[in-house]
Structure 1
Amino acid sequence: MAMFLYRLGRFSFRHKWWVIVSWLLLGALVIALVAAFNPKFSKDFELPGTDSDKAMSIMEKDFTAVNERQLEASTSVLIAADDGLAAHTADIDGLVAKLKTLPDIFEPDTIVNPVTAADAEPAIAASVLGDKGQVGLIQVQQNIKVEDLTIEDKEQFEDILSEFRTGGLDVRGTGSLMQVQEQGGTAEMLGFVVAFVVMIVAFAALVAAFIPIITGILGVLISINLVTLGAGIFNMNESATGIITMLGIAVSIDYALFIVSRYRTELNLGGTREAAAGRAVGTAGTAVVFAGLTVVIAVVALAVVGIPFVSQMGAGAGLAVVIAVLGAITLIPALLGAFGRFAFSPRIKGLRHGDEPESRVSNGQRTAKFLTKYPLPIALVALAFLAIIATPMTKLELGLSFSSDAEVPATELLKRGFGEGVNGQLLVVLNETDGADVAGVATETIDHIKTLSNVANPDQLTWIGNGPDQANPQAGATAALIAVTPQTSPSGEQTHELMEQIREYSSTTEAAGATLNVGGQTAIMSDISAKLSSALIPYLILVVGLAFIILMVVFRSILVPLTATIGFIFSICATFGATVAIFQQGIFGLITHTQPIISFLPIFMIGVVFGLAMDYQVFLVTRMREEYVHGLSAKEAVLVGYKHGARVVASAAVIMISVFAAFMLAPDTTSKMMGFALAAAVFFDAFIIRMIVVPALLALMGDKAWWMPAWLDKIVPNVDIEGASIREIPIDDTLAPDGKPLATKAGAAS
């Protein structure tokens, strides 16, 4: 592996312009294809094999119109006045008229003044007027697919609401139009800016700081556009793009940082720049490949959960990591070749340039001496600190809601006037199997649902059929659809309980010859949460097991992978604790509107963070392994490896944290929560576990840390992560045509 990457690094350096142009052409090609085909992401959530999926399949066949409406824009407008809405009739009429001017309104006559509607039809009064006439509800349906709504549509809608939010009348919105997201860019740009500053400090040179930025931008650009092209072939959810951006930027810059840093070290040892690039890719590049492999395994393994949008997020993230690795081992040496002797210029005074004499004591060396002097108490204190932060984890509550903070005022009005479940209907589908009387089964099912708690307006429950006569669809129906509105929020535990209570009635309907399934977006979200919870432990076992094997191959040790894994458990628990404290309990007041933790966050965070944790484990500990194999004592290997690796790992972690934390600026809570959790996880794992606990434990274990049973040592492949074969190559020479070293004097890959 090391020798292959050594040759690849030299090849890319020597043929720099071909490599650079190839990458640019690839980027231009995928951008052109996206522009030509204009593929669209899906915004719906499907869950094959679940009860909700079965319900949606029946709806697609027997209730096509209702199913189509599920995919089109639906927005709720809430109006409120403390002196009663009847006192604001003129303003409400004006609001209704303006709402009808929104594009592609479905049945404009259904957009009415709730006060007028309640007076005209007392039977529907409770569904449009609440809180003693102080809160009203106007539903706006549009013949536009949710994914086709634009930011201009949202701005037009918000302008209308703002215009009539006056004179004691409060007007708020929630739903499709309010959930349109602005084009991203702010978080990414901030992440790049912070990364650039960190790399200026790390390299003390402007040109070198630009190189990882170039590869990061190009890598993410290619990844996003490739996934976008995939959306034109597969039914892909748009949520896949968010993690690609976050993870793609972070790992692209990190991997480039490791290669460029090692290149500078190799340059200081002498020889040609081409040879230095080869040695950098052969040593640090080997670590990049295996670190990237652990991340890819961690995120792609999300497919075992069996949820399409989670699998898509994992696959997209895996693609971004693969491109980042390829960029690091090919594009980086090509760029180093293009910049030549100007790569580390202009030098910035006052910063450490990396070419200082080995005798100079660095902060990393001072830290390593302290860690190895008191390893046991330091490790115990660090782990105790993480355990304390993890305490709020015991209060963890999971839910699945993608409402933004801007929708909170509207949802509060919904709760006040009608119950939070108005926009979260459960769609109960009955389908005959043995020539059953669907009408009778539907009536009995409604009577049963009326007896359940948490049902809003039970007296208004009815059913529609799929009969051939559109004027009387109940006649001759073979399927029935009942829309049940819960009183509590779609993501609430009580709504989930109501759904399960309705599903339990299926045994009764089956005895009468009809199946019963519950569908709709609320049911799908609930099923997703349940499936994620049940898959968490199997997924964790799979990922940890595969990564343990990889780390065992890399380090040829049992205890090093074991400490890496145990340390990860501490860091991930601390992250859960901090996330619960901030977003669920509202500690420090950083989040105005607290809510349960997004149900897919734990499993996805475990996948991403485990991969990243192993990144830092590989980058820091491979240097220690390298020094130990080449003759240093276990303690000395920790000292030297830490001295050379701590600065780079710390820089990489700061970049990763900055990129993730920047996503807390996003308007949607999903991005905020994911950004915070990932940033916190990297901080805990990189700075506490990898840079404090792991070196301390390695020093404490001594030679035992690198022990492996003889029988296992024989069957584990040797991937030469230490670059032993590269050390045989002369610093100032090259390889023979057959790829073998021309001489055997020791090189300097140290």
Structure 2
Amino acid sequence: MASLLFRVGLASARRPVAVVLAWLLVLGALGAAMVSFQRPLSNEFDLPDSEFSAVLDELGEQIPEVSGGTGTVVLHSPDGFTPAQREAVDQTTATWRSLPHVTDTVDPFRTQGQLDAAAARLERGERKLIEGQAAYDRGARKLSRLRWLVGEGERDIARLQRDNPDDLTLPKRIEGQRELEATLADGERQLAEAREKLAAGEEKFTDGAVLLGLGDGIRMVSEDGTTALVQVRFDKSMQEISPDDLARFPDAGERLGEAGIEVDYGQELVQTTEVGGIGEVIGLGVAAVVLLVMLGSLVIAGLPLVIAFAGVGVSLMGAMALTHWLEIQQMAPVLGAMLGLAVGIDYALFIVNRHRRQLADLAHGNVQISRHELRHSIALATGTAGTAVLVAGATVVIALAALLVSGIPILVQMGLLAASTVALTVLVALTLTPALLSLVGRRAVPRQAKAVDRPRRDGWAEKWVDLVTRRAPAAIIAVVLLMGVLAIPAGWLRLGLPDGGSESPDSTAFQAYERVAEAFGPGANGPILVSATVESPIAESDLVATQARIGEQVASVGGVSDVLPIGVSDDRRTIAYQVVTVEGPSADSTVSVVDELVGPVTERVAADGVDLGVTGQAVANIEVSQRLAESLPLYLALVIGLSLLLLTVVFRSLVVPLLATVGFLLSVAASFGVIVAVYQWGWLGGIFDVHNPGAVLSFMPTLLIGILFGLAMDYQMFLVSGMRESYVHGQRAREAVRSGFSSGAKVVTAAALIMISVFAGFVFSHMTMVRPIGLGLAVGVLLDAFLIRMTLTPAVMSLLGDKMWWMPVWLDRLLPHLDVEGSALVDKQRPARRTAQEREDALVQI
């Protein structure tokens, strides 16, 4: 491999203009393809075989009007809505109804009027019921008097028939008695009918009262009349609607602002696809400063940046061109850009640094380096450092591609796009870097290379590794304790999907979220959708009673605020409910509500022949988290297994891979702990713009494990390989640790600082889903590079000595041999390099 890369580097160095032009043509062609074929990125989220999707699909077949997506527009008028403002609302909602995919808009004032009218009707019904009860009571009293009269008449007639049977008035009395008995019988019948009607009325009123009481907190206009909700219903889920179509809503709503209405759009209507921001720019600026400080030349420092942008440009422009045929999720390019920039700068830096070190060895004071030697050094740097870059890049690619085992399309897509970005960046680094170094020529020679007579002093790397190896037990204990403390919050990790409360405070999505929470309660920001299907069609007369009976079961769950029926299927077998929780959609109590609904409540109503289905954002959060939790052990086992196998092959040791893997797990746990403390508990929220702590992004653990694994193995490769090289060339184990550390620490430090800078720039990204990933990666690289690879690793290796490099003979024979550092290539090329240098020295002397 090293020999092949040597030839690639030499060919690029000999024809630098052709290589640069070739990559420019590739970029130009992909740019043209992107402009021609690009389509909007998708926000669609699909979880195959998910319960919440199945419920939603079934509900869509039964009650189509409630199954599509719903967007919320919050209107606010501090002094209440005037007639002119209501007219503006009517005109705007009519315009919104004409937009693509919109099926209806719910007028808040008309709907609130209907809700208020329902309460008024119930109140009138209650009055009629009271009046009916009073009339029934009066009739019952009259009937009771009539029964007494009939009884008295019967006794009088019986007495006359016994004492004076010849009394002439007896026939009339008997006839009158019969009429009275007939009247009593008719009264009894009428009273029984009244009793049945009154009982039916009471039952109907009770059912209506129960049903109205279950949803009496649901409003479309706030009680003070200053805030109103406009619900926009779509024929598709919100994730399936393009951002371009959604962007028409604020444009069509401009007349509302002109009418003096404050308008805020819910998160689902303002999907953010913007990537670049001030944070990302600052991160790249810091990376540029690190490169300038390390390399000491503006031109040389710019090379890694050019390589990184070229690699990311090729990958992302190609991906955007593919959107013509494939739907690409909006987070995938962000993750690809984040990783591509970081590894692109680092990989180019490793090759450039190796080339400059070789030139420093060749310089020898003021000796002029020939063009042949420059090209030879470029090729040698590509063959040696380039081999390590190739292996490190392959590690990252494999770790990201392994996301296929998750079975979740969005994760697979993000993993594959990020993996392709890293792969292309490696290709660019191995071909374009040698070409640019050839064009730079002798300006790549370090300035300090001429000061050969200046006594060499130990730098910070030598002092640090000396301190760590001399105080190895203390260093090990300190690192493990610190990482353990940082990892403590990880035990409370709670996963979910971000809502409007996670957005920036100055965003319209956050303002809408806050206004809804203040005016209608936090749960109104993410209602749960419940479907109830019965075996037989529900009779019209029994519909309210059935709705109330099932609704009571749903409302009995702690944490439920309101339950409102919102639709009935045409065959009257399925009822849809909107369930509003006390707290927001990502709160712990809402998760408990969903658990109760899909568990005990579903089982309880199933006994009555009711099939309950639950869907909505909170349900999706739980299912996604469960699915990811199920796939995480397999993914982690795959990553760890890959780590052990790869490092065993590279370092010919059993202990080094175990140490590297344990260190990686410590870094991941500590990173999780920091993320929980910041984004879930709100610690340092003012610094990281976390104003509404909540659940952490569901995808974060899987993504973080995959990416950090690849990056950790990068630093392991570049740092420990130098130690192994020194050990193989005859140094004792402890000396090899020191010399290997000293040769690689500076470039690894610079690479880590660059990655930290790039990742930290995404902590303040416009996309809130990216922020915890950016912080987790920045913290993970910081901890892994400086505490695990540069402190714990040399400390443990110095303690174990030769035992670090033990491997059974049979296993050593079985495993393939990879010359990662290209030592064989260096040994092979050294005589040729020495001869070229001697010839150059002779020419200089002449």
Deviations 1:117-165 (A, max 9, x none): 4687446984313456564322245789642337965764896776677
Q: Confirm or deny that 1:212 pairs with 2:304.
A: yes
Alignment check: 8 A CA contact 2:523 2:580 kept: yes
Does the residue aligned with 2:72 lie in a helix, a strand or coil?
strand
- Encode CA deviations 1:24-69: one digit per residue, 9 max, x unaligned: 22222222222222233321211112212323443566666655x3
- One-letter identity of the residue aligned with 1:219: G
Q: Partners in 2 of 1:601 and 1:147 — Cα distance?
A: 25
Q: 2:727 aligns with which of 623, 628, 640?
A: 628
Structure 1 position 175, deviation (Å): 2.9
Aligned residue pair count: 710
Partners of 1:645 and 1:163 in 2: how far apart?
Answer: 63
Q: Deviations over 1:153-191 (max 9, x none)?
A: 57648967766778xxx7543233343344535444333
Contact 1:129 1:135 in 2 (8 A): yes
Q: CA deviation at 1:376?
A: 1.7
CA deviation after TM superposition for structure 1 residue 372, in Å:
2.0
Which of 645, 648, 654 pairs up with 1:552? 648
How far is 1:641 from its partner? 1.5
Aligned to 2:316: 224
Find the aligned partners of 2:453 and 2:219 in 1 and give their Cα distance: 75
The correspondence for 1:461, drawn from 565, 583, 591, is 565
Cα pair distance change 1:267/1:99, threshold 3 Å: farther
Query: How far has the Cα of 1:363 moved from its partner?
Result: 2.0
Give the number of the structure whose alpha-carbon radius of gyration is greater. 2
Q: Of residues 520, 523, 526 in structure 2, which corresponds to 1:418? A: 520
> Counterparts of 1:180 and 1:160 in 2: how far apart (Å)?
23
Counterpart residue identity of residue 373, structure 1? R
The match for 1:499 is 594
> What whole-Å deviation, never above 9, does each CA across 1:334-359 have from its counterpart, x for those lacking one?
221232223458x6xxx899989794
How far apart in 2 are the matches of 1:355 and 1:482?
A: 82
Aligned to 1:744: none
Contact between 2:283 and 2:757, CA under 8 Å: does it hold in 1?
yes
Q: 1:514 to 1:282 in 2, by over 3 A?
A: farther
Query: What residue in structure 1 maps to residue 230 of structure 2?
Result: 138
- Amino acid in structure 2 at the alignment position of 1:536: L
CA offsets per residue over residues 290-336 of structure 1, 9 Å max, x none? 21122122222222122111111111111111112112222211221
Alpha-carbon distance between aligned partners in 2 of 1:580 and 1:508, rounded to the nearest angstrom = 36
| Conserved? CA contact 1:426–1:520, under 8 Å | yes
- Determine the C-alpha separation between the residues in 1 that align with 2:565 and 2:451: 74
User: Corresponding residue for 1:77?
Assistant: 74
Q: Could you tell me whether the CA contact under 8 Å between 1:296 and 1:321 is conserved in 2?
A: yes
- Partner of 2:770: helix, strand, or coil? helix
CA distance in 2, matches of 1:109, 1:617: 58
Counterpart among 216, 220, 226 of residue 128 in structure 1: 220
2:480 matches 1:378:
no
SS at match of 1:457: strand
Change (3 A) 1:697 1:55: same
Q: Structure 1 residues 39, 139: CA separation in 2 closer, same or farther (over 3 Å shift)?
A: same
Distance 1:140 1:723, change over 3 A: same
Conserved? CA contact 2:719–2:740, under 8 Å: yes
Change (3 A) 1:158 1:659: farther
Work out whether residues 462 and 738 of structure 2, in 8 Å CA contact, stay in contact via their aligned partners in 1: yes
Instruction: Verify: 1:651 aligned to 2:750, yes or no.
Output: yes
Which stretch shows the higher mean deviation, 296-305 or 401-410? 401-410
- How much does 1:627 deviate? 1.4
Match for 1:412: what amino acid?
E
Structure-1 residue corresponding to 2:328: 236
Equivalent pair of 2:756/2:778 in contact (CA under 8 Å): yes
Provide closer, same or farther for how the CA distance between residues 453 and 383 of structure 1 changes in structure 2, counting only shifts above 3 A: closer
Q: More displaced, 97-106 or 599-608?
A: 97-106
Residue in 2 that maps onto 1:5 = 5
Conserved in 1, the CA contact under 8 Å of 2:594 and 2:618? no
Give 1:578 shift.
1.9
CA distance in 1: counterparts of 2:632 and 2:451, whole angstroms: 44
CA distance in 1, matches of 2:449, 2:288: 16
| Structure-2 change in CA distance of 1:620 and 1:128 (3 Å) | same
User: How far apart, CA to CA, are the structure 2 residues paired with 1:261 and 1:353?
Assistant: 17
Q: Would the aligned equivalents of 1:216 and 1:324 in 2 still touch at CA under 8 Å?
A: yes
- Equivalent positions of 1:97-176 (< 5 A) are 97=91, 104-105=98-99, 106=102, 110-113=106-109, 117=113, 121-122=117-118, 126-131=218-223, 133=225, 135-141=227-233, 146-149=241-244, 153=248, 156=251, 172-176=264-268
Higher alpha-carbon deviation: 391-400 or 126-135: 126-135
For structure 1, list consecutive stretches of 5 or more residues without a partner in the other structure.
Answer: 466-472, 736-750
Question: 1:525-583 CA deviation, whole Å, 9 max, x = no partner?
Answer: 33112212232233212211112111111111111111111112222222222222222
Greater share of helix residues, 1 or 2? 2
User: What is the TM-score when the length of structure 2 is the normalising length?
Assistant: 0.76
Q: How much does 1:601 deviate?
A: 1.1
1:688 is displaced (CA, Å) by: 1.3
Secondary structure, counterpart of 1:176 in structure 2: helix
For residues 161 and 353 of structure 1, the distance between their equivalents in structure 2, rounded to whole angstroms, comes to: 71
How far off is 1:651 after superposition?
A: 0.7
State the match for 2:510 in structure 1: 408
Aligned letter for 1:422?
Answer: A
Superposition deviation, residue 474 in structure 1: 3.3
Supply the distance in 2 between the matched residues of 1:536 and 1:355 (Cα, whole angstroms).
54
Instruction: Give the Cα separation in 2 of the matches to 1:416 and 1:283.
Output: 62
Q: Summarize the Cα distance change of 1:130–1:676 in structure 2 as closer, same or farther, 3 Å threshold.
A: same
Inter-partner Cα distance in structure 1 for 2:361 and 2:513: 64
User: Which has the larger displacement, 585-594 or 336-345?
Assistant: 336-345
Of residues 676, 692, 708, the one that matches 1:609 is 708
Structure 1 residue identity aligned to 2:510: V
Structure 2: which amino acid aligns with 1:424? G
RMSD of aligned alpha carbons: 3.5
More deviation in 362-371 or 677-686? 362-371
Structure 2 partner of 1:319: 420
The 5-angstrom pairing of residues 517-666 of structure 1 reads 517-588=613-684, 589-590=686-687, 591-666=690-765
Any idea what SS the aligned residue of 2:694 has?
Answer: coil
Quick one: percent identity of the two aligned structures?
A: 33
Shift of 1:481: 5.1
Distance 1:200 1:150 in 2: 45
Cross-structure match for 1:283: 384
Q: Pick from 423, 434, 454: which aligns with 1:333? A: 434
Residue 702 (str. 1) matches residue 801 (str. 2) = yes
Looking at structure 1, the residues matched to 768 and 630 of structure 2 have their Cα atoms a distance apart, in angstroms, of 24
Q: Does 1:369 align with 2:466?
A: yes
Shift of 1:699: 1.4
Once residues 349 and 450 of structure 2 are traced to their aligned partners in structure 1, the CA distance between those partners, rounded to angstroms, is 14
How far has the Cα of 1:598 moved from its partner? 1.7
462 and 438 in structure 1: CA distance in 2 versus 1, 3 angstrom threshold: farther
> Matched residue of 1:720: which SS?
coil
Within the candidate set 257, 272, 278, 2:349 is matched to 257
Q: Distance in 2 between matches of 1:332 and 1:282?
A: 12
Kindly tell me: are residues 259 and 155 of structure 1, through their superposed partners in 2, closer, same or farther at Cα, counting changes over 3 Å?
farther
Shift of 1:248: 0.9
Q: Distance in 2 between matches of 1:361 and 1:566?
A: 31
Which residue in the other structure is 1:675 paired with?
Answer: 774
